[in-house]
């Protein structure tokens, strides 16, 4: 497992909370937990979420775990809430909130050229490095400050594109 995190399966009380808070039933939560424990975070998410942003999502989850001083690294709860957000039945607002966190790499409250170029590297991996900055600059050129605040995020990444990027069938 590349991120070095070991993940424990949740206790019965935790499973009940996850069941109440997410789209997954108890057996699906147990299945995700067991798969994760047996195969590791990267492997389970790569299986359940074959998507270009996965390396960035894993890095973001690991950073979140470090900030929260979670000695066990990425928790199964984080994984299940992530899978819940990406589930096709979830609201676009939840996906937009997650996308904002992923796109605002430096967490300064704006998506600037460097943030957008960083995300584009995952979404369009076959381009030469110099193209990411060009694409980011072009996308942000229509915004007066050449960066995007949270309130204008949907103008940068329309809902249809966001749904395409951050909606994945889980446990099919």
What average pLDDT score do residues 84-97 get?
92
pLDDT, position 162: 87
pTM, two decimals, is 0.81
Question: What pLDDT sits at residue 77?
Answer: 85
Residue with the two structure tokens 């694409």: 135
**What are the angstrom distances between the C-alpha of 86 and each of 75, 138, 165?**
17, 28, 9
> Which has more confidence, 46 or 1?
46
Structure tokens at 158: 């329309």
Determine the longest span between alpha carbons in the chain, in angstroms.
52
pLDDT at residue 2 greater than cutoff 80:
no
CA dihedral 127→130→131→135, nearest 10 degrees, is 140
Sign for the CA dihedral angle at 49, 55, 60, 66 comes to positive
Question: How many Å separate Cα 102 from the centre of its chain?
Answer: 6
- Each residue's pLDDT tens digit, 17-68: 787 888 888 888 888 888 888 888 888 888 888 788 888 998 898 888 888 8
């Amino acid at each position: 497992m590349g991120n070095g995190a070991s993940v424990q399966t949740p206790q019965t009380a935790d499973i009940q909370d996850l069941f109440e808070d997410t789209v997954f039933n108890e057996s699906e939560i147990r299945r995700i937990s067991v798969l994760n424990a047996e195969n590791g975070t990267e492997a389970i998410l790569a299986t359940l979420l074959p998507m270009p942003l996965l390396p960035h999502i894993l890095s973001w989850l690991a950073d979140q775990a470090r900030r929260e001083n979670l000695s066990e690294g990425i928790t199964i709860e984080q994984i299940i809430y992530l899978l819940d957000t990406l589930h096709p039945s979830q609201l676009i607002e939840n996906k937009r909130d997650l996308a904002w966190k992923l796109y605002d790499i430096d967490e300064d409250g704006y998506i600037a050229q460097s943030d957008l170029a960083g995300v584009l590297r995952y979404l369009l991996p076959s381009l030469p490095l110099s193209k990411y900055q060009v694409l980011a600059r072009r996308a942000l050129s229509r915004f007066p400050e050449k960066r995007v605040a949270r309130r204008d995020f949907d103008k940068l990444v329309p809902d249809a594109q966001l749904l395409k990027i951050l909606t994945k069938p889980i446990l099919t």
